[in-house]
Amino acid sequence: MISFTSLAHSAILWTATPSPEPSLYPEYNGDVNLVTPGVVGFVATLFIAVATLLIIVDMNRRVRRVRYRELAQETIRNEQTLADGAIEGSGDVEGIDTSRAPDTDGPPTQRAD
C-alpha cells in the first residue's frame, strides 16, 4: 500500500519548479528580430528552389512525351485498321473512332496540344 508520506513526497516533487537545464548555446541578448539565417540559409533556399524548378521542367517533358507516344500509337492503330480493310465504307467498326481516322494519302501527323 501507498503511505501518506510517499504521496506527500511525490506531490511536492511533482509541483516543484525544476531548475533550468544548462544549454549548449549561449543566451542571445540582442534584438531577436534582427536574427537572420544568413548566407547559408539563402544558399539552401536557392538550392531547393532551383531543384524544384528542374524537377517540374523534367516532369513536364516526360508527361508530354508520354502523351505524344499515346497519340502516335493511336494513329498507328487506326492506320493499320484502315489498311487491313476493317473499314469498308460503313464507318461503324466497334472500338475505332472513325471521325479521327487519319488520311491514308499522306504521312501521319501529330497534334501539338
pLDDT tens digits for range 12-30? 777 776 666 777 777 778 8
Cα–Cα distance between 98 and 91 in angstroms, integer? 6
pTM for this prediction: 0.43
The DSSP code for 89 is: S
Q: Which residue has the cell 504521496?
A: 7
The pLDDT value given to residue 61: 95
Of the listed ranges 35-39, 42-46, 71-75, the least confidently predicted one is 35-39
DSSP secondary structure of 17-31: PPPPPPPSSPPP-S-
State the Cα–Cα distance between residues 103 and 109, nearest whole angstrom: 9
Q: How far is 35 from 109, CA to CA, in rounded Å?
A: 60
Return all residues near 81 (Cβ < 8 A) that are at least 6 apart: 87, 93, 96
For the chain, the average pLDDT equals 78
